[in-house]
Structure 1
Amino acid sequence: MKQRTYIDRMVKLGMLTALSIILVYLIHFPIIPSLNFLLYDMADVPILIGTFLYGPWWGLGLTAVVSVLQWILVSPEGQWVGAVMHFFATGSFVLAAGLIYQHNKSRTAILFGLALGSILQTLMMIPMNLIFTVNFYGYPKDAVVAALPLISLFNIIKTVANSILTFLLYKRVAKLFERDLVKPKILPNEKNA
């Protein structure tokens, strides 16, 4: 029985991973015209839903898998830097939201967790941009520092939009995921045994 539950969880986490990759691949667009390399996507919504369903550590694992798959399948020229930035940014969001919800499974806890996670992800992207955008993408530090207010605005918009979508979809997905996807098959010979 325990193995079935584990397999069921892995199947559902795999579905959320696939959905995250599909969303980042199909739906992405710039929000701030002067920073058209910053693209909004909804890839974090399935990750956050998985976090609320299974806990913060499963959510962090989901973040790691999605980050690597985005790097391999979606990133232009296979840049690993984006995967690292995504892992730290979304990971901070997931841990904050997931730990809060894990201790108090209520709508208020979801809202508070999403709000705190949005703030932490936005703050996390400041040093990530100063380190990675300057050192690996080759942008001058002065230009990155000057762009930080707009980068932060982008991250606020992205995290708030993803938080709203997560809040609206979480309970619906949870009801779907309550079903046991991995059911043992009883063979005709086993019925009489």
Structure 2
Amino acid sequence: MSVIFYYFEFRVIPGSPLKVDLSDIPVLIGAWLMGPLAGFMIAFLKNLVHFLTISSDGNIAGELANFGFSVLLMLPVVFIKTDHKFKNVILMIVSVVGVSLIMNVFNYYVTFPLYGLDQSNAWEILNAVYLPFNIVKGTILMVLFMLIKPTLKRIQ
């Protein structure tokens, strides 16, 4: 299911090469129901399949960044479970901001060099484009997951 969701990408920042997809929803669901190893494997497999089938540039940098984002977003969901609505909102905010900041560092040291991008103004680009993108993407994914979570509780 995660691979199928990866095919439906959309841009949230016009003109940006960055796209949001919902393929992290199955990662979050799998991790929440079956633990972090399941989430890790779903994230790995969806990015491997994406790289082998969809990726057009032959560079694995985008998949590495997506994998890192998926795993980082999944970990708080797995290890900090709460039924309290206010705590869920705080968890969502802290998770999204934390993941976005960590991904800025990851993108600077890993993704940008793999793409061969000039790092002279990398922090400006990261803070102006990537940080807001990751916050929007993380918020969309976490809100959708929080809406799905009550159904998951009945399944569990």
TM-score bracket for this pair, using the shorter chain length: 0.7 to 0.9
Q: Is the 8 A contact 1:134 1:141 kept in 2?
A: yes
- Indicate how the Cα distance of structure 1 residues 129 and 114 shifts in structure 2: closer, same or farther if over 3 A, else same: same
1:138 is displaced (CA, Å) by 1.6
Instruction: State yes or no: 1:132 paired with 2:110.
Output: yes
Aligned to 1:155: 134
Supply the distance in 2 between the matched residues of 1:82 and 1:112 (Cα, whole angstroms): 29
Q: Deviations over 1:66-101 (max 9, x none)?
A: 222222222223322222222222111111221102
Q: Is the 8 A contact 1:59 1:98 kept in 2?
A: no
Supply the distance in 2 between the matched residues of 1:76 and 1:173 (Cα, whole angstroms): 35
- Indicate how the Cα distance of structure 1 residues 50 and 113 shifts in structure 2: closer, same or farther if over 3 A, else same: farther
Which amino acid in the other structure matches residue 143 of structure 2?
I
Instruction: State yes or no: 1:141 paired with 2:122.
Output: no
Instruction: Give the TM-score normalised by structure 1.
Output: 0.70
Decide which structure has greater helix share: 1
Rg larger for: 1
Supply the distance in 1 between the matched residues of 2:95 and 2:30 (Cα, whole angstroms): 15
Instruction: Give the TM-score normalised by structure 2.
Output: 0.85
1:112 is displaced (CA, Å) by 4.0
Q: Is the 8 A contact 1:98 1:113 kept in 2?
A: no
Aligned to 1:63: 43
Aligned mate of 1:118, from 92, 96, 99: 96
1:110 is displaced (CA, Å) by 4.3
Q: Deviations over 1:34-79 (max 9, x none)?
A: 4x21111111112111122122232222222222222222222332
Structure 2 segments unaligned to the other structure (5+ residues): none
Aligned to 1:12: none
Structure 1 residue runs of 4 or more that deviate by more than 4 Å after TM superposition: none
Structure 1 segments unaligned to the other structure (5+ residues): 1-18, 179-193
Alignment of 1:71-86 (within 5 A): 71-86=51-66
Supply the distance in 1 between the matched residues of 2:131 and 2:13 (Cα, whole angstroms): 11
Aligned mate of 2:14, from 20, 30, 33: 33
Q: What number of residue pairs does the alignment pair up?
A: 154
Aligned mate of 1:47, from 18, 23, 27: 27
- Indicate how the Cα distance of structure 1 residues 173 and 69 shifts in structure 2: closer, same or farther if over 3 A, else same: farther
